[in-house]
Chain A
C-alpha cells in the first residue's frame, strides 16, 4: 500500500512520542458500499499517505472501526482528523497519536520444521502441522511482530501474512 518505504523498516513502530509524521486514528464509520473508498480518497487527495489500515466491525451494528496509521505529509498533523471528519460516513474519530496504547498485530506464517523451535520459544502458537511445513500464529506489539518477522526471514519464509495494528488507549 505505501508508495515509499515506511519509516522504520519492516517493523512499523507506532509513534509513542509524535516524533515522526505519523498520526494514529481510531475511526468509527457507517457501513456502506462507498465508505472505504471515500476514506481512502480523502487521504490520497489531501496528500496524506496510508501506512497501515485495519478494518473490522465495531460493537455497534452497521458501523465499522478503522485503525489508521497515516503519514500526514506537508499538512499539519491535525488535518488528517479534520478532513476525515468532513465525511458524512465518519461518525467518530479518536486521535491516538502520542497516547500510551495497547497495540497488537497478528502474524500467520508457514515455516519449515527447522525454524519451528525458536519461534515457539518466542511465543508462537501452532495452528496446523503438516509434513513439510507448520502453520503458526504470533501476536504482539508492532516491534515484537517486526522482530518475529525478521527471525522468520532468517530461516527462509515459506509464507507469511501480517495484519495492521489493532489499537486501544492504555487506561486502567
Chain B
C-alpha cells in the first residue's frame, strides 16, 4: 500500500535502509521496479541524499528508515532539510501498534523526537488512514514553505490487507496557504523602493524555491537597485551582474555589508533574516527607514526584524505585483551605484598567495574556470562552504547546494550523490573539509556502487578550520581540540572504497589533478592539502555589527 501510494505521487528514487520494523515494505519493493531504491550506508546519509536530490530537482526527496535507531539517525538530516525549507518525505517503520508504549525492541518515540524538525508528522496505526496520510504528506511537504514531513507507520499496518483505495480529496483545514498578494502593500512597497535614495534588495532561498529569479532581476534593473543574496539565496541573482552585491551576512563581501549598513531601504525577499545575516541585530542596517519583507511564511514577519511593509506571499507573485509600479530609474541612482562601485574597488575579495602553501581559493578558482555555470557545487559546512560560496561566480539558480540554516557537517558527500541522481546530466562537485567529510564518508560506497560521476574536492587543512579560525580570532588564540592530523590517508581510503584519487600539495598540480578527475568517468577524489592557516574573509567578529567586518590582510 505504501509503495503504490509513492508510485501514485510520482516518486522515482527512495533513499533508505531496511530493518525489523519496515520489513513488510521492503518485502514488496521488488514488485515495484519503477521505484529505484538506493541502499545507503547510514540513515543520516539517506536523509542528506534525499535533501540533495530535492534541492537539485525540486521534487521531494523520499527516505525510508526502520524504527528506533534507524529513525533517530534521520534526525540531523530532517533538521537540515527543515531549517532550509527542503521538501522531504521520511517514512519510518514503527513497532506494532499493539506494542507501542511498551518499550518494545527498537521502539522509540519518533514523532516526539522529530516534531520540532519536521513541518508535519503522522503516526499511522490503522490501515485506512494510510492513503490519505501519504497524499497529505506530499501536499504539505511541497506546498507553501516546503519542508520535511515524517510518516511513522506501525509494522502491523504495513502488512495489513486493504482494498486499494485512492485517497479522497485533501481535507486539511488547519493547513492554510497564503494564496494572494496584498496588492495595496505591493504598490506601497514598489513606491517605497522607487523613492528610496539608497535601496538594497536581499534575496534568500525563497526566491529560488519560487523560481522568481527573472522577476527579481527585472525589478532590480527597473528600480536600479543593487541586489545581494543570502548564503542559501546564491544563484538568485547573477554574481557578475553590475547590480550584484554578492553574498551578505557575517561572512559576506565588504561591498555588500557597506551597502546594507548605509541603505535607507532594505527589501528582504524569501529569507528569514537570521543572525548570520544581521550579525548584531541592534546594529543591523541602522540607516534603513523602510524595511520591506516578502516571505510566504507569515511568522517570519517581525520574528527578527519588524518590517514597515510586509508581503506574506510567494516571492514570484509578490515581485510580479510590484513590477507594474516601478519605472526605470537608472539616472536617479547613479550616486548610490557609484558609491557601491567604489566600495567594490575598496573591499575586493582577496586572499594570501605568497607563502608557498596551497590556497583553497586557487583550487576553487581553477574549478570555476573549468566548470563555469555548468556544474552543481555541493559544499559541506565550515570554511570550505564559505570559500565555495564566495569564490565561484554563480549566475544561475540551483547550482550551489549547502546546509545553510542547520550547518550540518557531513552534508556534502551524501547531498552531492543525491544531486547527481536528480540531475545526471550535470557535473556535480562535492567540496568538503576533511572534518565533515569523514562524518559521512561511508556513503562513498553508494557513489562507487552506482558509479556516480561526482568529483570530490577535499580541502584538507588537517584541522577544524572554521573552529580554529574562531579560536584564533575570538577566543584568545587558544587552539583547543581542532587538530586533525590523525586522519586516514584519503587517497588510500578512496581506493579502499574503490574509487580513484589523487593528492595535491602544490599550486602547479591543481590543474593536472582536475584534468585527471574530468577524464575519469565515475567518482573521483582529490585530496588538496591546503594551507592550514588559510582563513575566511571578510568576517564580522562575533557580537559585532556588519560594518565592523575584518578583511584579509592586504599585503599577505
Is B175's CB under 8 angstroms from A75's CB?
no
Minimum CB–CB distance for A78 against chain B, Å: 6
Residue of B111, B116, B299, B303 near A34 (CB, 8 A) is B111
**B90 → A minimal CB distance (Å):** 16
Whether the Cβ atoms of A91 and B173 lie closer than 8 Å is yes
B299:A83 contact, CB within 8 angstroms: yes
Question: Is A34 in contact with B173, judged by CB distance below 8 angstroms?
Answer: no
A-side contacts of B299, CB under 8 Å:
79, 82-83, 85-86
A sample of 18 cross-chain residue pairs with beta-carbon separation below 8 angstroms, ordered by A number, consists of A30-B174, A34-B111, A34-B121, A34-B123, A37-B111, A37-B115, A38-B115, A41-B115, A45-B116, A76-B306, A79-B303, A82-B299, A85-B176, A85-B299, A87-B174, A88-B120, A89-B174, A91-B174
CB interface residues, A 20-37, toward B, < 8 Å: 29-30, 33-34, 37
CB proximity of B243 to chain A, nearest CB, Å: 32
Q: Which residues of B contact A (CB under 8 A)?
A: 111-112, 115-116, 119-121, 123, 140, 172-176, 297-299, 301-303, 306
CB nearest neighbor in B for A38: B115
CA of A30 to CA of B111 in the docked complex: distance in angstroms? Answer: 17
A30: chain B residues at CB < 8 Å are 173-174
Whole-angstrom distance between the Cβ of A83 and the nearest chain B Cβ: 5
> Given the complex of chains A and B, what is the CA–CA distance between A89 and B118 in angstroms?
13
Q: Do residues A86 and B297 form an inter-chain contact, with CB atoms below 8 A?
A: yes
Q: Whole-angstrom distance between the alpha carbons of A7 and B121 in the complex?
A: 35
A-side interface mostly = mixed
CB-nearest residue of chain B relative to A80? B299
A90 at the interface (CB under 8 A from B): yes
CA distance A100 to B302 in the complex (A): 26
Report the bound CA distance from A75 to B281 in whole Å: 13
Q: In the bound complex, what is the Cα–Cα distance between A89 and B120 (angstroms)?
A: 9
Distance between A41 CB and nearest chain B CB, rounded to angstroms: 6
Does the CB pair A88–B140 fall under 8 Å? Answer: yes
Q: A160 CB to closest chain B CB, in angstroms? A: 33
Q: Which residues of A contact B172 (CB under 8 A)?
A: 88
Which listed residue, B112, B120, B174, B297, touches A37 by the CB 8 Å rule?
B112
- Cα separation A155 to B265 with both chains bound (whole Å): 64
A166 CB → nearest B CB, Å: 22
Interface size class of A (residues with CB under 8 A): 20 to 34
Total A-B pairs, Cβ < 8 A: 44
Closest to B144 in A: A86
Given contacts A34-B111, A87-B174, A90-B174, contact A41 B302 (CB under 8 A): no
Set of chain A residues within 8 Å of B298, measured between Cβ atoms: 82, 85
A75 vs B176: C-alpha distance when bound (angstroms): 23
Chain B residues whose C-beta falls within 8 Å of the C-beta of A82 in the assembled complex: 298-299, 301, 303
Q: Are A88 and B115 in contact (CB under 8 A)?
A: no
Give the nearest-CB partner of A28 in chain B: B174
Q: Which residues of A contact B112 (CB under 8 A)?
A: 37
User: Quick one: which of B116, B175, B302 contacts A88, CB cutoff 8 A?
Assistant: B175
Q: A34-B121, A82-B298 are in contact. List 7 more A-B contacts (CB 8 A).
A: A76-B303, A82-B299, A85-B299, A86-B299, A89-B174, A90-B174, A91-B173
Question: Which partner residue on chain A sits nearest B172 by CB separation?
Answer: A88
Look across to chain A and name the residue whose beta carbon is closest to the beta carbon of B112.
Answer: A37
The residues of B that contact A85 with a CB separation of less than 8 Å are 176, 298-299
CB distance from A64 to the nearest CB of B (A): 12
B-binding residues in A (CB < 8 A):
29-30, 33-34, 37-38, 41, 45, 75-76, 78-79, 82-83, 85-91
Q: Give the nearest-CB partner of B145 in chain A.
A: A86
A41–B174 contact, CB under 8 A?
no
Known: A45-B116, A82-B298. A88 touches B123 (CB 8 A): no
CB distance from A5 to the nearest CB of B (A): 27
Closest partner residue, chain A, to B109 (CB atom):
A37
Report the minimum CB–CB distance from A106 to chain B (whole Å).
Answer: 29
Q: How far is the CB of A66 from chain B (nearest CB, A)?
A: 13
By a CB distance below 8 angstroms, the chain B residues around A86 are 297, 299
**Known contacts A33-B123, A82-B298: does B111 contact A88 (CB below 8 Å)?**
no
Residues of A within 8 A of B111 (CB): 34, 37
Q: Which residues of A contact B302 (CB under 8 A)?
A: 76, 78-79
Tell me which residues across on chain A come within 8 A of B176, comparing CB atoms: 85
Residue with the greatest number of chain A CB neighbours at <10 A, chosen from B116, B173, B299: B299
CB-based nearest B residue for A76:
B302
Q: Shortest Cβ distance from A59 into chain B, in angstroms?
A: 15
Please measure, in the bound complex, the distance between the C-alpha atom of A37 and the C-alpha atom of B110, giving whole angstroms: 13
**Chain A min CB distance to B146 (Å):** 13
The 4 closest A-B pairs by CB, nearest first: A82-B299, A91-B174, A88-B120, A76-B302
A83 to B298, CA, bound (A): 9
Residues of B close to A87: CB separation below 8 A: 174
Q: Are A34 and B115 in contact (CB under 8 A)?
A: yes
Residue of A nearest to B120 (CB): A88
Residues of B within 8 A of A76 (CB): 302-303, 306
Q: How far is the CB of A38 from chain B (nearest CB, A)?
A: 6
Given contacts A34-B123, A82-B298, A88-B174, contact A75 B303 (CB under 8 A): yes
Contact partners of B174 in chain A: CB under 8 A? 29-30, 87-91
B410 to chain A, nearest CB (A): 24
A151 to chain B, nearest CB (A): 42
Chain A contacts for B115, CB-based, 8 A: 34, 37-38, 41
Give A167 Cβ to nearest chain B Cβ, in Å: 21
CA distance A89 to B116 in the complex (A): 14
Once bound together, how far apart are the Cα atoms of A29 and B172, in whole Å?
Answer: 12
A33 to B537, CA, bound (A): 50
What A residues does B301 contact at CB under 8 A?
A: 82
Please give the distance in Å from A71's CB to the nearest CB on chain B: 17
With both beta carbons as reference points, the residue of chain B lying nearest to A86 in the complex is identified as B299
Q: Which residue from chain A places its CB closest to the CB of B152 in the assembled complex?
A: A34
Cβ of A79: which chain B residues have Cβ within 8 Å of it? 299, 302-303
Closest to A87 in B: B174
Assembly CA distance A38 to B140 (angstroms): 17
Alpha-carbon distance between A85 and B299 when the two chains are bound, in angstroms: 8
Name the B residues within 8 Å of A90 (CB-CB): 174
User: How far, in angstroms, from A172 to B175 measured CA to CA in the complex?
Assistant: 32
**For the complex, what is the distance from the CA of A37 to the CA of B121, rounded to whole Å?**
12
A143 to B116, CA, bound (A): 36
Report which residue of B121, B303, B306 has the largest number of chain A beta carbons within 10 angstroms of its beta carbon.
Answer: B303
Query: Which residues of A have CB within 8 Å of B116?
Result: 41, 45
B71 → chain A, closest Cβ, in Å? 15
